[in-house]
Each structure stands twice: as C-alpha cells, then as structure tokens.
A and B are shown apart, each in its own frame.
Chain A
C-alpha cells in the first residue's frame, strides 16, 4: 500500500503532510506527557522488530500462498496509539530511506494511510473498547482481526482518494475502489490473524506488555474534548483538502450545464484583462486543449523545446565528464606524489 512520489500531486502531498504532521505533533506531546524515558529505546527496538518481522513469510492455510505483517495494529496494542504512531513514522521513513519503498513526497500520505488508521482508529476505537474489561483469547482475536481489516480498508480507500485527487489516473473511481478494497480485505484478514496469534501469545506469557487492557472506560479512558476537537480538525483538513481537490478535478457537470444553458461549453471573452490572461496562458501552456501548440506539425513549436532539452542534457553530460576528469586527475596526482 506504499504510495510512490509519482502517484501524488504536490497539493495532495502537501495536504497530507500537514495532516500527518499535526497528528505527529500531538503524539510527541502525549509521549512527552507520559514521561517514561524507557519508552524511546523500546519504540526504536520495536520499530526494528516490526521491520524485521515484515521480512518473514507466513503460510496462509489452504491457499498455498503467504502473507506478512504490517505492524500498525500490533505496535499500538503494545506501545499505545501515540508511541505506536511515532514508531510507525520511523518504520515508514526507514523503509523509504533503505529500500526506496514509498517516496519522500508521498511520506505524508503513507503515514496517514498506514500509521494513522492502524494506530488511532485501531487502538482507540477498536482495541481499547474491546479490552476495557480485560483480555481473553476471543477478545484479542476479534480486536486484531476487526482492527486490521477496518484500518486496511480505510487506508486502501485513502490511497484511491489521494491518487484520484492527484489526477494521475483516468481510472474511474468506482473501478479503482473495486480493485483496491477486495485485495486489502484479504491482506487485512491475514494480518489480523497473524497479529492475533502474536498478541494472544504475549497475553499468556507477559500480559503486562499489552496496552489498554482492563482500563475503565471512565473520563480518563475516553478521548478528551481537546483530543476530539484535534481529531475532528485533522479529519476536516483531510476531507476539506483532499476530497475537495478530488471534486474539483471533474468539472464536467458545469460544462454540461453551460452547454444546455448557453449552447456552448465555453463563454466568449472580451477585454484587455482577458486578452492579457490568455496571452500568459498561451505562453505557458504546452498542450492547450489537449494538443501541442502549433499542431499543424507533429511537434509544433515544441521542436525548439526538444532541441533546447538536448542542449541542456549535453551541457549536463559535459559538466559531469569534466567533473570526473578533474577528479581522476587529482587522484592520479596524489598517487604519483605518494
């Protein structure tokens, strides 16, 4: 489910960075409030553990195939949602920096899709309410499976929204969602079963390691008013930013209405301001109305662009070769001297 940089526009990436940064800042504050110095090394080692576990393959009974762990739900069941979220950020960043899995620009989206839902929705809305009166095998299994399926479904849906809002695919929204959701239903089920097996073992061996078990659902157990407002604000930013972008990417309804009312999809414009704006647009747009400028020839005036590009690449090659030449010369001189 890692999104690549190519799949997100800068506007969507920026919006998701803002949302993820907001939640990260809140989580840092909560972890500091806990004032447990042992937690930071634990978060680091647990992050490395999740990373290493993701390399293990688990046989899926009756299918002949295998799956692996994602870790968001397991981390929050062991560390709590805030520390779990920060650890998942670390895991995603290291995945990006060591294996180029996901991108730097898409990191905000990946944090939201995989860490936010797994840690906050999974831990606060599913794990804690189920565990409030103590843990049992059945409860842990139910919380793990429901949590993993639900959070992966939400993550996959967000991937569809973000990709479509970025305008990089012509795939209809319904088809995209129809492909993404069932795949992640199966993945969520497998991840849920693996998470359940591990957490049941932990509950039997070291129950004190599990977070949120046996906590009363009193005032302390619920989200505070400020916390609720914070979550709502982040959700509002997400839907206001990403979903509105998605909506504005399809103005066909307006064009359809214009066609019906005015008989044309585009209004005639006159006046100096319109002429100036049209002039600027004429200069800057390479493909006005889906056609190359000067489309009487195959590449029109962009021929000069191609020539310019070849020149730029040539200069770049020249500079790089010069750089290597001088470096090799310097190394040769140093070798001679020694």
Chain B
C-alpha cells in the first residue's frame, strides 16, 4: 500500500471510530476539546525532571482509551509522526547534562537521562490525548467547538471544506499516482520533467472544481456561513470537563499524590 492509500485508509478508519455509538462520542464537542487542551497544557507544563508526577498523568489517556474503547496500538502508531523530532531533541540530553541525580546501586542516573525520559513521556501522553480527541470527534465536531469559542467563521469554513474535500482530492492523487506508476514502472516518485504538467493540470482542475463547488453551494443557499444545528450542553458535559480539570489540576499543582501515598505508607 503506498503513502496515499495509507493516508486514505487512516481517514476511513478515523471516520468509523468517530461515528461509533459510545458515551464519549456523544459528549458535547466543546467538552472533548477543552478536556484535551487542559490535559495537553498541564502535561507540557511539567518540569523537565518531574518524572514521578508526570507519570501519574497517564490516568487521563488510560481512562479515555478504556471508556472510548480505543486501540492503544493505533494510538502509539501516531507517535511515528512526532517521534523523529522528539528523539532528535531529547537523545542528546544525557550527553550534555551529566549532573548525577540519584544513584541506583552503582548506576548513576543523570539529569540528562531523566529529562530525556520526561520528554518522551510528554510526547507519548500528548499524542495519546490528541488521538483520543480525533478518534471521538469528527472535523465537523471540532469546527463546531471552534465556533463555540468564537474562532472566525472564515477559518472554520476553510477547515470544514478541507475536511470535506481531502478524501476526494486524496483519491484523485491516488489515481494519478497509480496511472503514473503504470506508465513509468520501477521509477521512485514523479520524474522532474513531469512535475509541472502533472501537478499543474491537476491544480487547474481543482481550481475549476472550486468554482463548481461554489456555484453548487450557492444553489443550496450558502451565504458565507454553514447553518449549524445547535447542540445543547448537558450536565454530563459540564461535569466531565469540571471533574477532569479538578483531578488533573490537583495532580499537577498540589501534593495530592503524596498525600494519598502517605495514607498508605503511614
């Protein structure tokens, strides 16, 4: 399967996940967006050596993966996109920060090692939280949440249109590549002599299509905005965000974890 087919398959799979009849998928889109943003901000705010408290933040993705019936394997697979830069930034840390933090027997654990692991954990948690959001919310849901947050209409409509046409143009890209590969076997990628004509013609077709899209939108009553059916906020939605904000805030800013631990240690 080539890259384009892989990406189209990913979009298909996400779409199936988003349409499932689950409790998490039925939450208000703003609730899902806010919970994810709060979690990501709190995870990113941890100190580079604060590994113990950071590790506890696993509770949010864990809960969401369990309740949302999501595959951890699929979530971890998303890491491949951000992993190269995270590794490039984190791997040199042990070589530059050699301050010994603790001795585990005769093995010295340095600040660089801890900060590298913290960076990896942050990368993992934030990607998993983002995966939870995108596996339970469609582009339309997120656009609705963005409108609730008063993001300008122009930006939201552009995002919505990209979301709608990405599959169509992706399929077209797949057909073009297949046709090209059949005519140019054993050639890696598109030859430079065809760059302009191949993509250029496709671009002109897409721009012409935009004109047709605009005309059909006008015929359906488009006047610069999409009519959205209002979705009421239920008590469930408010409680979900509030509980997570309180739990995550307590884990991040108070010694709640130590206090709970002391109850058992004492």
Which of B48, B115, B164, B251 sits near A312, CB closer than 8 Å?
Answer: B251
Which of A42, A193, A303 sits near B192, CB closer than 8 Å?
Answer: A193
Beta-carbon contact of B210 and A4 below 8 Å: no
Q: Is A287 an interface residue (CB 8 A)?
A: yes
Q: Is A273 an interface residue (CB 8 A)?
A: no
Bound form: Cα–Cα A57–B120 in Å: 30
Beta-carbon contact of A291 and B45 below 8 Å: no
A-B contact pairs, 22 of them (CB 8 A): A32-B154, A40-B224, A44-B161, A45-B207, A48-B162, A49-B203, A52-B169, A57-B188, A98-B163, A100-B81, A169-B89, A201-B199, A201-B201, A205-B200, A295-B102, A304-B258, A306-B52, A306-B261, A309-B257, A311-B261, A320-B62, A320-B63
Bound form: Cα–Cα A222–B229 in Å: 43
Q: Given A2-B81, A6-B122, A197-B196, are A41 and B210 neighbors across the interface (CB < 8 Å)?
A: yes
Q: Is B104 an interface residue (CB 8 A)?
A: yes
Bound form: Cα–Cα A58–B188 in Å: 8
Q: Is B7 an interface residue (CB 8 A)?
A: yes
Bound form: Cα–Cα A190–B260 in Å: 56
Beta-carbon contact of B139 and A323 below 8 Å: no
Q: Number of contacting residues on B, CB 8 A?
A: 116
Beta-carbon contact of A194 and B207 below 8 Å: no
Beta-carbon contact of A100 and B127 below 8 Å: yes
Contact with B along A98-115 (1 / 0, CB 8 A): 111111110000000000
Give the residues in chain A near B190, CB-CB below 8 Å: 56-59
From 293 to 319 in chain A, residues with beta carbon under 8 angstroms from any chain B beta carbon are: 295, 298-299, 301-313, 316-317, 319
Q: Given A86-B155, A308-B257, are A46 and B130 neighbors across the interface (CB < 8 Å)?
A: no
What's the nearest-Cβ distance from chain B to residue A244, in Å? 19
Beta-carbon contact of B139 and A168 below 8 Å: no
Q: Is the interface of B mostly helix, strand, loop or mixed?
A: helix
Bound form: Cα–Cα A139–B124 in Å: 45
What's the nearest-Cβ distance from chain A to residue B125, in Å? 8
* Nearest CB in chain B to that of A290: its residue: B99
Beta-carbon contact of A303 and B265 below 8 Å: yes
What's the nearest-Cβ distance from chain B to residue A75, in Å? 11
Which of A170, A198, A290 sits near B203, CB closer than 8 Å?
Answer: A198
Q: Given A40-B224, A309-B52, are A292 and B102 neighbors across the interface (CB < 8 Å)?
A: yes
What's the nearest-Cβ distance from chain B to residue A310, in Å? 8
Beta-carbon contact of B48 and A167 below 8 Å: yes
Beta-carbon contact of B173 and A52 below 8 Å: yes
What's the nearest-Cβ distance from chain A to residue B209, in Å? 6
From 159 to 177 in chain A, residues with beta carbon under 8 angstroms from any chain B beta carbon are: 163, 167-172, 175
Pick the most buried of A4, A98, A206: most chain B CB atoms within 10 A of its CB.
A4
* Nearest CB in chain B to that of A88: its residue: B158
From 240 to 266 in chain B, residues with beta carbon under 8 angstroms from any chain A beta carbon are: 251, 255-262, 264-265
Beta-carbon contact of A316 and B130 below 8 Å: no
Pick the most buried of A104, A307, A327: most chain B CB atoms within 10 A of its CB.
A104
Give the residues in chain B near A8, CB-CB below 8 Å: 44
Q: Given A169-B93, A201-B196, are A305 and B53 neighbors across the interface (CB < 8 Å)?
A: yes
Closest 4 CB pairs of A and B: A44-B161, A201-B200, A308-B261, A304-B261
Instruction: Identify which of A89-97, A224-232, A233-241, A252-260 touches chain B.
Output: A89-97
Give the residues in chain B near A324, CB-CB below 8 Å: 66-67
Q: Is B85 an interface residue (CB 8 A)?
A: yes
* Nearest CB in chain B to that of A321: its residue: B66
Q: Is B36 an interface residue (CB 8 A)?
A: yes
Bound form: Cα–Cα A172–B207 in Å: 46
What's the nearest-Cβ distance from chain B to residue A83, in Å? 9
From 49 to 96 in chain B, residues with beta carbon under 8 angstroms from any chain A beta carbon are: 49-50, 52-53, 55-56, 58-59, 62-63, 66-67, 78, 81-82, 85-86, 88-90, 92-93, 95-96
Q: Given A2-B82, A304-B258, are A312 and B158 neighbors across the interface (CB < 8 Å)?
A: no
Q: Is B233 an interface residue (CB 8 A)?
A: no
What's the nearest-Cβ distance from chain B to residue A41, in Å? 4
Beta-carbon contact of B90 and A169 below 8 Å: yes
Beta-carbon contact of B93 and A170 below 8 Å: yes
Bound form: Cα–Cα A98–B90 in Å: 26
Bound form: Cα–Cα A299–B52 in Å: 10
From 161 to 189 in chain B, residues with beta carbon under 8 angstroms from any chain A beta carbon are: 161-166, 168-170, 172-173, 176-177, 187-189
Q: Is A87 an interface residue (CB 8 A)?
A: yes
Beta-carbon contact of A299 and B197 below 8 Å: no
Q: Is A28 an interface residue (CB 8 A)?
A: yes
Q: Is A15 an interface residue (CB 8 A)?
A: no
* Nearest CB in chain B to that of A317: its residue: B62
Beta-carbon contact of A100 and B130 below 8 Å: yes
Q: Is B144 an interface residue (CB 8 A)?
A: no
Q: Is A332 an interface residue (CB 8 A)?
A: no
Q: Given A86-B155, A198-B200, are A41 and B192 neighbors across the interface (CB < 8 Å)?
A: no
Q: Is B234 an interface residue (CB 8 A)?
A: no
Bound form: Cα–Cα A28–B152 in Å: 8
Bound form: Cα–Cα A147–B11 in Å: 32
Bound form: Cα–Cα A31–B95 in Å: 49
What's the nearest-Cβ distance from chain A to residue B59, in Å? 4
Pick the most buried of A8, A10, A65: most chain B CB atoms within 10 A of its CB.
A10
What's the nearest-Cβ distance from chain A to residue B123, in Å? 4
